[in-house]
């Protein structure tokens, strides 16, 4: 066990240098972008950190010292406002947290929390900025990634402002199937409480809507495994709200 600096907070966890970036899933995705020398540079300026479910990964209002790459697990990014907060995005394997802090004042505008056990790489933020200066293709790829996040957040704002809770739940289930788990059926690692916080409603309302969807044979749920039985009807609920 070592004490690692994550943002402005010290986090005591397992830190290791087991796999270098040449063997990383993220590196394989970008193997046409980074040179071997740039990958070595990236590997020399990173540290691997383990988080347990429920642990804070980064904190709103602190200075971002690293870009966080999720190697395993699921996290949420959220904005805090006193005792309330709003979930912005879900982050899965190969997703990144903190890119919005590049070339700014470096203050995080959101927090992130582990929704499952997580393995993550913390890459020094100056290292990423240096790579951007050297490698235009890398900078372009990351800009596309940030833009994708922005589009997802815009879609959520539109959904919350125009759809009733049934439409938002249907949209979330379709999003989880397509963008997070990629299978049907899928093992839901989010609790009903997690879902209610994302949707901005109560846990009881989420449970009631799940019961209705099961009664209508739109989905099946067993031991945290969700199977969508009728995509057409679920999409219709999502569109009509």
Q: For residue 187, list its beta bridge partners.
A: 225
Radius of gyration (C-alpha) of the chain in whole angstroms = 19
Question: For 144-159, what is the mean pLDDT?
Answer: 81
pLDDT of residue 177 exceeding 50: yes
CATH of 2-159, one of 3.40.50.2020, 3.40.190.10, 2.60.120.10, 3.40.640.10: 2.60.120.10
Around 115, how many Cα atoms within 13 Å sit in the side-chain half-sphere?
26
* Region label for 5, one of left (φ > 0), alpha (ψ between -120 and 50) or beta (otherwise): beta
Question: DSSP state, 20?
Answer: -
* Lowest mean pLDDT, pick from 1-5, 115-119, 156-160, 217-221: 1-5
What number of residues does the chain have? 241
- Secondary structure letter of residue 180 according to DSSP: I
How many Cβ atoms are within 10 Å of 78's Cβ, its own excluded?
A: 18
The tens digit of pLDDT for each residue in 59-106 reads: 999 988 898 989 889 999 998 887 777 888 899 888 889 888 777 777
Q: Where are the domains of the chain?
A: 2-159, 163-240
Q: Is the pTM of this model over 0.75?
A: yes
Kindly indicate the confidence band of residue 25, based on its pLDDT and cuts at 50, 70 and 90. Answer: low
Average pLDDT over residues 131-142: 85
Residue 170 has pLDDT above 70, yes or no: yes
| Average pLDDT taken over every residue of the chain | 83
Are 2-159 and 163-240 in the same CATH fold?
Answer: no
* Fold of the domain built from segment(s) 163-240: Arc Repressor Mutant, subunit A (1.10.10)
């Amino acid at each position: 066990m070592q004490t690692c600096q994550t943002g402005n907070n010290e986090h005591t966890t397992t830190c290791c240098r087991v796999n270098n970036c040449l063997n990383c899933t993220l590196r394989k995705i970008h193997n046409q972008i980074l040179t071997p020398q740039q990958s070595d540079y990236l590997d020399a300026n990173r540290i691997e950190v383990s988080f347990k479910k429920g642990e804070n990964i980064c904190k709103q209002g602190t200075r971002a010292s690293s870009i966080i790459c999720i190697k395993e697990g699921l996290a949420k990014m959220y904005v805090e406002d006193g005792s309330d907060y709003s979930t912005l995005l879900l982050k899965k394997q190969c997703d990144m947290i903190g890119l919005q802090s590049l070339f700014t004042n470096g203050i995080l505008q959101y927090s992130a929390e582990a929704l499952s056990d997580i393995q993550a790489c913390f890459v020094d933020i100056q290292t990423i900025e240096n790579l951007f200066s050297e490698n235009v293709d890398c900078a372009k790829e990351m800009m596309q990634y940030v833009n994708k996040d922005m589009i997802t957040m815009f879609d959520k704002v539109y959904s919350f402002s125009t759809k009733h809770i049934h439409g938002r739940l249907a949209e979330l289930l379709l999003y989880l199937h397509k963008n997070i788990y990629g299978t049907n059926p899928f093992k839901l690692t989010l609790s009903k409480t997690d879902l209610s916080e994302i949707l901005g409603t109560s846990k009881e309302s989420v449970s009631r809507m799940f019961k209705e969807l099961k009664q209508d044979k739109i989905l099946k749920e067993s031991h945290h495994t969700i199977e969508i039985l009728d995509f057409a009807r679920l999409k219709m609920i999502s569109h009509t709200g």
